[in-house]
């Protein structure tokens, strides 16, 4: 069977390719249903990365946030029609035995931190395609009562889960979340699901966006006069991430943990003097594991989680051609005011 797959071939250009869907006895055939665009996809689309890196990547199918429906599963793991979240990680058989593929043996680090880990829409083609075949290990079933336009945020929720996994919540008394955008909101949703009674303060700059964080205290850094924090999460990214990290350092009590989630293409100058003085720990978090997705599939059943995610659906768009894809990318690129995404359906 033939399959349409859409790839970024150069900055600002997406082209349709026709591929064959391979029949393999140990793989599941999934019809991709709903897709969301990530900031990383936008960077590849706009060419906002080092040109030498981009030239190695193009042509590259974007999208790593997607859900689909099982069409066929010769392995017997899933039934036809099962709703599944697509896990964008990928590992081959030699992955663990390769001596050049080393990382720390810390238990809280996922397989995705191995240098040779493959990630869809970054080091392998993403999900902007009609059909996808993969090992059953790279799918997570979600309840069919949940709308695909809600479940499509699973990858983001899984990254939030991966970040929260790095925190020892037995020791947390006051937690600060920096950011008022999509990632911060997603972390807020998972924090409220996993730790509803936690003392949580969200720091942002946009009053309208901060209103979405209903079940948390909200504040602006310049105006904040309250107690300092033992755990602080940065979910700002981009050019403001350095400011956010320095603000977090200022608001840390000695020995605090700082979790960094935001991607910044530039190097961030940070106040190392205070980091040393306060004995702070900085942990970087990006991407998630299959286990994080499984936790998210449970969280999706929670009505509060569903309700919180529903405000993130800015529009739902039927994709018939490349032009429709451009329009969704442009809508997401131009959205500065709302926490949410313009979703794509086939």
Contact residues toward other proteins (CB under 8 A) are 1-2, 4-5, 7, 17-21, 23, 29, 31, 56-60, 71-72, 74, 118, 123-125, 130-131, 320, 346
Pairing of strands 28-36, 65-72: antiparallel
C-alpha–C-alpha distance, residues 144 and 147, integer Å: 7
Helix (H, G, I), strand (E, B) or coil at 219: strand
Distances (CA, A) of 242 to 63, 85, 190, 246: 27, 33, 24, 6
Which of 17, 224 has the CB closer to other proteins?
17
Kindly state the smallest distance separating residue 74's Cβ from other proteins, in Å: 7
Compare residues 8 and 152 and give the one whose CB is closer to other proteins. Answer: 8
Cβ 117 to other proteins shortest distance, Å: 11
Bridge-based pairing of strands 341-345 and 28-36 is antiparallel
Q: Name which of 33 and 292 has its Cβ closer to other proteins.
A: 33
CB 92 within 8 A of CB 109: no
**322-334 and 39-46 helices, crossing angle to 10°:** 110
Q: What is the largest CA-CA distance in the chain?
A: 62
Smallest gap from Cβ 267 to other proteins, in A, equals 23
Name the 3-class secondary structure at 199.
Answer: coil
Rounded to a whole number of angstroms, the minimum distance from the CB of residue 290 to other proteins is: 19
Nearer Cβ to other proteins (7/165): 7
The 10 Å Cβ neighbour count of residue 33 is 19
Of 5 and 200, nearer to other proteins (C-beta) is 5
State the minimum distance, in angstroms, from the CB of residue 57 to other proteins: 6
Choice between 117 and 249, CB closer to other proteins: 117
Return d(Cα 115, Cα 112) in angstroms, integer: 8
Q: C-alpha 222: how far from its chain's center?
A: 29
């Amino acid at each position: 069977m033939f399959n349409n797959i859409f790839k970024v071939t150069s900055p600002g250009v997406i082209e349709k390719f026709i591929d064959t869907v391979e029949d393999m006895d140990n793989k599941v055939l999934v019809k991709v249903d709903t897709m969301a665009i990530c900031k990383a996809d936008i960077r590849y689309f706009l060419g906002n990365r080092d040109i030498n890196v981009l030239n190695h990547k193009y042509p590259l199918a974007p999208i790593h946030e997607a859900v689909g429906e099982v069409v066929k599963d010769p392995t017997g793991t899933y039934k036809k029609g099962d709703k599944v979240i697509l896990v964008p990680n990928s590992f081959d058989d030699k992955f663990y035995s390769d001596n050049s593929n080393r990382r720390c043996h810390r238990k809280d680090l996922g397989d995705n931190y191995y240098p040779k880990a493959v990630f869809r829409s970054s080091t392998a083609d993403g999900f902007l395609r009609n059909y996808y075949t993969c090992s059953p290990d790279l799918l997570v079933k979600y309840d069919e009562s949940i709308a695909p336009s809600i479940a499509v945020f699973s990858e983001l929720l899984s990254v939030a889960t991966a970040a929260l996994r790095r925190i020892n919540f037995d020791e947390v008394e006051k937690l600060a979340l920096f950011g008022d955008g999509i990632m911060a909101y997603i972390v807020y949703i998972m924090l409220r699901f996993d730790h509803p009674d936690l003392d949580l303060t969200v720091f942002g700059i946009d009053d309208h966006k901060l209103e979405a964080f209903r079940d948390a205290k909200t504040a602006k850094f310049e105006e904040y006069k309250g107690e300092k924090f033992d755990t602080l999460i940065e979910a700002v990214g981009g050019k403001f991430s350095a400011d956010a990290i320095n603000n977090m350092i200022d608001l840390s009590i000695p020995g605090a943990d700082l979790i960094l989630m935001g991607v910044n293409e530039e190097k961030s100058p940070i106040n190392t003097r205070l980091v040393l003085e306060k004995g702070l720990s900085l942990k970087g978090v990006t991407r998630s594991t299959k286990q994080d997705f499984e936790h998210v599939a449970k969280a999706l059943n929670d009505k509060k989680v569903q309700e919180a995610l529903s405000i993130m659906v800015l529009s739902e768009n039927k994709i018939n051609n490349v032009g429709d894809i451009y329009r969704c990318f442009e809508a997401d690129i131009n959205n500065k005011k709302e926490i949410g995404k313009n979703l794509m359906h086939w």
